[in-house]
Structure 1
Amino acid sequence: MGRPIGSVNKEKPFNDALRIALRSRPLALRRVADQLLDKAEQGNLAYIRELVDRLDGKAVQVVDRQDVPIHELSDVELYRIAAGGGLNPDTMLLLPPAKVRPDDPS
């Protein structure tokens, strides 16, 4: 579900101010990018991460739930395990069936 219409997060005053400043100093952004590349090239891990995040997007955070008791797993996780996929998110996802009454013959 997305943000509701009229969300207060829509306004980004710092972003607006930065864009105005960059219009008046168009080469400033290029110099900043050059400095980022220089620091990354020198092996500074923080700058390398920043560069990779800007080019490829931030890495997806993986949540390892293999030590969670079975009663705390979701239905989707349990069906994935039952299908032989374990908790590995790269395996095919089987969705649980719709709610079935115990007396339902189907």
Structure 2
Amino acid sequence: MKKLLFFLISVYVLCASVPAEALTIRNKCSYPVAGSLKSAESNVNVAQFRLAPGEKIRLLKGFNKTKLIMHMTPDVHQLDELGVNKAEIDNPDTYIELKPGEKGITIEIY
């Protein structure tokens, strides 16, 4: 029984750590979020997005390994929620979750 439990946990860990294959962004906020992705080297806009609550999007599939800068803002009418958040992304094959925070959006990069 212990061996079976160890095997199932091992399989779960290996499956959960599979690369994202593209930049995947999930909005876990209760409001829409709009943003853009720019190349850190050339400051050229690469992609723009607007995510509804609970929506997930995959961007830049097959994109070169380059550093990106993500700017985003909540799409709300409450002034206390407004604010532009910024995150640097080292690898375009990552998974990002956007969650509500005290001052705008909390970004979790996996």
Q: Would you call these one fold, judging by a TM-score over 0.5?
A: no
Q: Between Structure 1 and Structure 2, whose CA radius of gyration is higher?
A: 1
If asked which structure has higher relative contact order (CA below 8 Å, sep 6+), I would say 2
Instruction: Compute the TM-score of the two structures, normalised by the length of structure 2.
Output: 0.22
Instruction: Compute the TM-score of the two structures, normalised by the length of structure 1.
Output: 0.23
